[in-house]
Amino acid sequence: MPPYYLTTPIYYVNDAPHVGTAYTTVNADALARWHRLVGDEVWFMTGTDEHGAKIVEAAEANGTTPQDWTDRTSARFVEAWRRLDIAYDDFIRTTEPRHYAVVQRFLQRIYDNGYIELAPYSGLYCVSCEDYYTEDQLIEGTCPVHGRPVIEMQEDNYFFKLSAFEDRLLEFYDQHPDFVRPVSKRNEALGFIRGGLRDVSITRTSFTWGVPVPWDSGHVFYVWYDALINYLTVAGYGSDDAAFASRWGAAHHLIGKDILKFHCVWWPAMCMAAQIDPPDEIFVHGYLLMGGQKLGKTMIAAGAAGGDGAKALRVTDVSPLALADDFGVDPLRYHLVRDVPLGGDGDFSYEGIVSRYNADLANNLGNLVSRVTTVVQSKCGGVGPACDEGSELAAVAAETLETTAAAWARWAPHEGLEATWRLIGAANARLEAAEPWKMEPGPAVDAVLGDALEVLRIVAVLIGPAMPATAREVWRRIGVPGDPGSARLPDAAAWGGYEGGATVEKGAPLFPRRKA
Ligand code: ME8
């Protein structure tokens, strides 16, 4: 089985999970499930980023210690991802001993290789970004991302000699045209590199909440230089050579565009400095936007935890758990995967979720399940008839599998789902044309319903990555044993799998229509 190592960013624990972090994590989970479905040996990870000045600030603001604060907030991520059915293989916390060991080993190697050196540093620092700015990058004297005042920092710092990697990075990008996708984001990364790279200060002495520098005990590593290395800790760097060889050769990072520079410029340079290959691929997605305002990062995180952002941003609409309570977990997951294509920015609104829910789930998928199971009760005695090997829907199903699979493989799960929905539409259209509910019981009705049941069997397999619980429920209702999540493509979607003879259950509507 080919390995496939998929990562999300590890999220800051200065606040609660929000719909922006859920967007990345649900899409990554769906992609991981898709890769399992096609038979890849998937290792899927997420986690929390727990060091740095921002966390110390959040802990202080909440009257507690950084350790207590990170324990509590990291647990909220674990709980949120459990509720949203995120099936990760590993969840890393950067405060774990296994991570300290890897950060120290990796950066010691870079130090030994001569790419880290001590120098005095002073600069303008935004605590929310955990990043320095130059005077001309500020907007009216404040951070361009957060609009908050920057602080003058003066430290004796260790610097990573990023400037030494300009040419090597350009060469690497040239040799790996798909290293960063989509191409607009690749160009942005190239723009950073061509614009000239300055050395990066990678240690702090102003606080102790970080991984200690092994060769100089007065320093801790700067949070980004500890965070990026999490991908190696989980891959088994220095602890499990066989796992590392397989995972790191197949590492795919899914990130948001806000952290492009760190992943697409700093990270490959760090890998080169430590003499390991950069990751295989970085896919950079856009932002969910609400009313033109960025949803994530500090603003919504504060809001989601009941802080300052709450009133302006309708926080109950942007907490993923509140949305899951309202719509159901799978409809939320479907919305996040289907509505905002990975790569560009997209609007996020309550109305948008409702209209997508009604159009695709209530009127299409839900309607098909309800019609088929109802008519099997009334015309076939509740027992599903076998499908017809020569059905006209067989060709549609084959075409659907091909387009669906191609889309998921190129990071376009929204198109994959769109393609799958064409099969649902074709099955609904066939039912409308044949009107089995008006026919007398007999072979003609059986043929129409057997085919529709086979469509549902295949559809459940194909929607499983986005809506795992719904997929299981569809199989259960139509009497197919097992879990569609354990099925393997292409066999599981080959026409003819619905054998007939199983009890079909009508059940309550899967997706009752929503008014607003
Ligand atoms: O940056 N739309 O953590 P973070 C879509 N700890 N995605 C969004 C979003 C939005 N409005 N807002 C946030 C950090 N995200 C670092 C990462 S990795 C080694 C360290 C998602 O908690 C998106 O994936 O600020 C973005 O990149 C990430 O959350 C930032 O999460």
CATH code assigned at 373: 1.10.730.10
Report field, pTM of the whole predicted structure over 0.85: yes
287 lines ligand 1 (CB under 6 A): yes
In-domain check, residue 429: yes
Count of the separate structural domains present in the chain = 1
Centroid of ligand 1 to alpha carbon of 62 (angstroms): 22
294 lines ligand 1 (CB under 6 A): yes
3-state secondary structure of 433: helix
What pLDDT was estimated at residue 42? 98
Centroid of ligand 1 to alpha carbon of 389 (angstroms): 48
What pLDDT was estimated at residue 291? 65
Centroid of ligand 1 to alpha carbon of 466 (angstroms): 21
What residue numbers bound the domain in which 442 lies?
Answer: 350-493
What pLDDT was estimated at residue 314? 38
Centroid of ligand 1 to alpha carbon of 230 (angstroms): 15
What pLDDT was estimated at residue 304? 40
> Pocket of ligand 1, candidates 6, 13, 21, 261: which has the most ligand atoms within 8 Å of its Cβ, to mutate?
21
In-domain check, residue 297: no
Centroid of ligand 1 to alpha carbon of 21 (angstroms): 6
320 lines ligand 1 (CB under 6 A): no
As a whole number of angstroms, the distance between CA 488 and CA 499 comes to 18
What pLDDT was estimated at residue 347? 84
Nearest ligand 1 atom to alpha carbon 288: 2
236 lines ligand 1 (CB under 6 A): no
User: Where does residue 291 fall: left (phi above 0), alpha (psi -120 to 50 degrees), or beta otherwise?
Assistant: left
In-domain check, residue 5: no
Residues counted in the chain: 516
132 lines ligand 1 (CB under 6 A): no
Instruction: Judge contact between 370 and 503, C-beta under 8 A.
Output: no
> Pocket of ligand 1, candidates 49, 91, 99, 252: which has the most ligand atoms within 8 Å of its Cβ, to mutate?
49
> Pocket of ligand 1, candidates 297, 335, 340, 342: which has the most ligand atoms within 8 Å of its Cβ, to mutate?
297
In-domain check, residue 230: no
Q: Of 437, 416, 414, 434, which is closest to residue 426 (Cα–Cα)?
A: 434
Written as tens digits, the pLDDT of the chain (516 aa) is 899 999 999 999 977 888 899 999 999 999 999 999 999 999 999 999 999 888 999 899 999 999 999 999 999 999 999 999 999 999 999 999 999 999 999 999 999 999 999 998 888 988 888 788 888 899 999 998 888 999 998 878 899 999 999 999 999 999 999 999 999 999 999 999 999 999 999 998 888 999 999 999 989 999 999 999 999 999 999 999 999 999 999 999 999 999 999 999 999 999 999 999 999 999 999 988 876 444 443 333 333 434 444 344 533 357 898 889 889 999 999 999 999 999 999 888 888 889 999 999 999 999 999 999 999 999 999 999 999 999 999 999 999 999 999 999 999 999 999 999 999 999 999 999 999 999 999 999 999 999 999 999 999 999 999 999 999 999 999 999 999 999 999 999 999 999 999 999 998 999 999 986
3-state helix, strand, coil in the chain (%, to 5): 55, 15, 30
As a whole number of angstroms, the distance between CA 451 and CA 423 comes to 12
In-domain check, residue 17: no
227 lines ligand 1 (CB under 6 A): yes
Half-sphere exposure (Cβ direction) of 187: Cα atoms closer than 13 Å = 3
As a whole number of angstroms, the distance between CA 293 and CA 306 comes to 18
225 Cβ contact list (under 8 Å, min separation 6): 103, 107, 160, 200, 202, 203, 270
* 251-256 vs 3-12, strand pairing mode: parallel
418 Cβ contact list (under 8 Å, min separation 6): 338, 407
As a whole number of angstroms, the distance between CA 91 and CA 77 comes to 10
In-domain check, residue 237: no
φ and ψ at residue 7, rounded to 5 degrees: -125, 150
In-domain check, residue 513: no
Atom 14 in ligand 1: residue holding the nearest Cα? 11
> Pocket of ligand 1, candidates 10, 11, 232, 336: which has the most ligand atoms within 8 Å of its Cβ, to mutate?
11
In-domain check, residue 177: no
